Amino acid sequence: MTTTSYPPPSRNADILTQIIAALMGGFILFLVALLAWTLGYQLVYAGRIFPGVSVAGVDLSGMTPADASVTLNQRLNFPYQGQILMRDGERVWAASPAELGMVFDASASARSAYELGRSGGLFSAFGDQLDSRRRGATSEAVIIFDQHIAYAYLQRLALEIDQPAVEANLAIQGTEVVAQPGQLGRFLNVDAGLIALSSQLQTFRDGEVNLIVDEIQPKLLDVSSQADAARQILSAPLTLNLPGATEADPGPWTFDVQTLANMLLVRQKDDGNGINLEVALDTGALNEILLGVAEQVDRPAENARFIFNDDTRQLEVLRSSIVGRTVDIESSRAFINQNILTGAHLIDLQITTEEPAVLATATAAELGITELVHAETSYFYGSSPERKQNIATAADAFDGVMIAPGETFAMGSVMGDISLDNGYAEALIIYGGRTIKGVGGGVCQVSTTLFRNAFFAGFPIEERNSHAYRVYYYEQNVSGSKDSNLVGLDATVYFPLVDFKFTNDTPYWLLMETYVYENSLEWKFYSTSDGRTVDWTTTGTQNVVDAPAPLFVENDELAKNEIKQVDWSADGADVSISRTVYQNGAFFFEDIFNTHYEPWQAVCEYGPDTNNPEKRAKDEGICQ
């Protein structure tokens, strides 16, 4: 038989069970007591507000909700007599809460006070009852906030507060600089104002609301530095200087303050850090000034001019070389604008230079000029003093001129302006289908002589234009008589439209010398012969067309029975000249020069009331 034994119950376990039972019983008794107190307290104050409860400082202890509502309406006049201050810096606006859309709900506030101590559970209700009795409790006033009214009020304030951002401005009035500083934009933040106003009204007390005003920064707020720069520019005239100028050079050029003011430009510019204001002289106006200056300053590089001494076979300097110079418009413009902002008013032009190819120190051997390679002479018997003057003036322009190896030479590159100021006189010229008096008549004697020299020296002719009709001067021989072999060997020029050009296709420099005598022009070429010889043939005049009958025209400036021939007749014709150039006896090249001359009409003028001008002209031997 097996026997199982158990240990006797522990005395400590009995004690723990007794403690737990006692605690549970005490807690139950506490809950019963708390419930009894709470229910009893509510029973005592049934239908009435608990003691110590107030709304906005008004004690509602023991009042029914209805009485409390009446009392609150009587005692609380804050919506109408309260004052809310709204501030923007030093500016203040005052309004009653009612003006701002506040309405006090006394009935709802009384009901809220009545519920204090009766809601939120047993412990919460007991706590509220105990706090209100011992220390007093405040129930929030119930208000109605009409934001539409408040919004409208704040919008009215915005009309007084808001101001747009104003950009700073800089203007030139005459020679005065007028600067206006920028202004910050200010805009009332109505939404933020509504939030702040609602919070203040909830306190049910007078108070102050700091309005929220947003600021807008203009692109340009301060232009004082630019104004100072503009005033500095206009503080004195601007003088442009040619660096290294001699007494013979143009300049300096001075522009007064009013001219600078007219050129001064104020414009906005994005410098990468935002919009800024730039003060500078206007590019277009400055370009115009610089172009005018450049017309006086610019000059091409000119080689030294020489004559060849036939005895010593050396070069003698006729005129020193000239360094070419050009006004760098773009660099000068930038340099002026850069320096004038620093206070400079005497500013150097920016010049680029070009060295001539032939200096006065050059020798005949260096240039390959060793001998006379060809010379031609043309004649102009019967020319007027004015025509002779023009021939001498034009020929002098080419005396001592050097032509580089391989260079195509154009007469227009040397001639310059044919004007009275440059030494030319009025003489007969061909213009508009008539022979009339004009500046430079006789220049074609020079172009014709050069053409013949290049032709017979065997150089390639790049451009040659004949006269419209046969001119007697270009067909004269040494005795002044007509030479039919010279027909078709003339060349006319009318710069810049009509030019004469030929190429120095030798490896040597070519020196030209011109000599004008009483009735002739001699043109010499000095270089080194490469063995060229020229054969040529002419067809002579072909397809000859008789000149029209003379034309008689009345001229009010002539006296009665006065006759004057102003144009001379010439038969029309075609001429073809062939040239073959040999080098050291071998064929080199050939070309043909075809010329067409129009028949030309003689013209006689006569005074008013002249009797039978045709007969008078015949009797005088003119216009035949």
Q: With beta carbons less than 8 A apart as the criterion, state whether 553 and 519 touch.
A: no
For residue range 416-444, list pLDDT tens digits in order: 777 676 677 775 555 555 555 555 577 99
**What pLDDT shows up at residue 461?**
98
312 pLDDT higher than 60: yes
Fold: same for 224-300+318-352 and 531-624: no
Counted residue by residue, the chain has a size of 624
Burial, 493: exposed, middle or buried (Cβ in 10 Å; 0-12, 13-18, 19+)?
buried
| H-type alpha helices, 431-478 | 443-457
- For range 270-281, the mean pLDDT: 76
Q: What fold is seen in the domain 531-624?
A: Resuscitation-promoting factor rpfb fold (2.20.230)
Please state the three-class secondary structure of 113-171 as a single string. Answer: HHHCCCCCCHHHHHHHHHHHHHCCEEECCCEEECHHHHHHHHHHHHHHHCECCECCEEE
For the chain, give every domain's residue range. 40-167+185-215, 224-300+318-352, 368-530, 531-624
391 pLDDT higher than 60: yes
pLDDT: which is higher, 492 or 180: 492
Q: What fold is seen in the domain 224-300+318-352?
A: Ubiquitin-like (UB roll) (3.10.20)
Please state, in angstroms and rounded to a whole number, the distance separating the CA atoms of residues 620 and 371.
Answer: 52
Q: With beta carbons less than 8 A apart as the criterion, state whether 287 and 296 touch.
A: no
Please state, in angstroms and rounded to a whole number, the distance separating the CA atoms of residues 465 and 551.
Answer: 27
Rg (CA), the chain: 57
Q: Among 385-389, 450-454, 575-579, where is mean pLDDT lowest?
A: 385-389
- For range 179-208, the mean pLDDT: 89
| H-type alpha helices, 251-368 | 257-263, 283-297, 329-340, 364-367
Please state, in angstroms and rounded to a whole number, the distance separating the CA atoms of residues 256 and 237.
Answer: 4
Please state the three-class secondary structure of 303-326 as a single string. Answer: CCEEEEECCCCEEEEEECCECEEE
For residue range 57-93, list pLDDT tens digits in order: 888 888 988 888 888 888 878 888 889 999 999 999 9
613 pLDDT higher than 50: yes
The percent of the chain in helix, strand and coil, each rounded to the nearest 5, is 30, 30, 35
- For range 181-208, the mean pLDDT: 89
Other Cβ atoms less than 10 A from the Cβ of 473: the count is 20
Please state, in angstroms and rounded to a whole number, the distance separating the CA atoms of residues 523 and 404.
Answer: 18
Please state, in angstroms and rounded to a whole number, the distance separating the CA atoms of residues 59 and 77.
Answer: 15
**What pLDDT shows up at residue 520?**
96
Q: With beta carbons less than 8 A apart as the criterion, state whether 87 and 210 touch.
A: yes
For residue range 491-527, list pLDDT tens digits in order: 999 888 899 999 999 999 999 999 999 999 999 999 9
Q: Which of 173-187, 316-330, 543-557 has the highest mean pLDDT?
A: 316-330
Whole-angstrom distance between the N-terminal and C-terminal Cα of the chain? 187
Look up the pTM and report it: 0.63
